[in-house]
Amino acid sequence: MAMQRNTLKTNERWLRAQKEEREQRAPGVRRLSRAEKAELVMRYQAAHLEDLPDKASVCLDNLKGMRVLEIGGVLYVDRVLAGVQTKLKIALDPVIELWEKASEDCEYIRGTGEYVPLTRDSVDLCWCLNTIDHTAYPLAVLQEIRRVLGSHGHLVISCNVFPIWARPLFPLFNKFDAPHPHHFTESSFIKLILSSGFNIEASFSPQKTKGRNWKTLLGKVFGVRVVEFRCTANTRIDL
């Protein structure tokens, strides 16, 4: 598969978000021992592997010939699919060095979703979980995913969404919610997906935000929840 040079596509607001994320995560990053890697993989596979055929529309046996990409993290390609045979596993993230890695058969690329360093139609399955609102240009990211997936691939994407009544508060959120350059309602998130060349094939039960820190508690006050969709290419749109 031909690889292209990845260029970090940025803007001032995104750079502020990245600075905040680095400051929050960098102090806790370390290399895992073999036992710690095994425990991490076991924990994530117990939580997510059973749901994979439904969410990704593929059984584990069929993953052997598939090329799998994850944009914004390593949850699936590094942990859930650790030890699961695939043709290719790639994790792409602008702070990829800050993820604790558990897999021996995954390629890690430091880069942004606006410039995916892969050729057209080179990926069969892409995960983009709780990432799109962290990017500089969400539409450009989804258009790049559409390009590399081609007409037969699947995208599994999730995002935090707010109720419609909170929309007038988005400029305020933009000031104090540094890691998120963008905020969406469910309808605006769906509109973004459709406008980037995808059809929504399936939706999954909304998840409640987890955790007990002040940001999570504030999110619960404002009705923040996580929505997740499985998408296919809209073949009527040629990107």
Q: What is the CATH number of the domain that holds 135?
A: 3.40.50.150
In which domain, by residue range, is 94 found? 12-22+32-233
**Mean local confidence (pLDDT), 157-169:** 94
Q: Is residue 27 part of a domain?
A: no
Q: Is residue 7 part of a domain?
A: no
Helix 138-149 / helix 186-195 crossing angle, nearest 10 deg = 50
Q: Is residue 88 part of a domain?
A: yes
Count of structural domains, the chain: 1
Global pTM value:
0.88
Tens digits of per-residue pLDDT, 19-60?
988 888 777 777 889 999 999 999 999 999 999 999 999 888
Q: Is residue 92 part of a domain?
A: yes
Residue 130's region, left for phi above 0, alpha for psi from -120 to 50, else beta, is left
CB 207 within 8 A of CB 226: yes
Q: What does the pLDDT read at residue 210?
A: 58
Q: Is residue 6 part of a domain?
A: no
Q: What does the pLDDT read at residue 79?
A: 94
**Mean local confidence (pLDDT), 76-94:** 94
Q: Is residue 2 part of a domain?
A: no
Q: What does the pLDDT read at residue 211?
A: 55
Q: What does the pLDDT read at residue 4?
A: 43
Residue 30 CA to residue 155 CA, distance in Å, equals 30
Q: Is residue 141 part of a domain?
A: yes
* Res. 6: pLDDT tops 60: no
Q: What does the pLDDT read at residue 175?
A: 85
CB 160 within 8 A of CB 210: no
Residue-averaged pLDDT of the chain: 87
Q: Is residue 84 part of a domain?
A: yes
pLDDT band, very low/low/confident/very high, at 109 (cuts 50, 70, 90):
very high
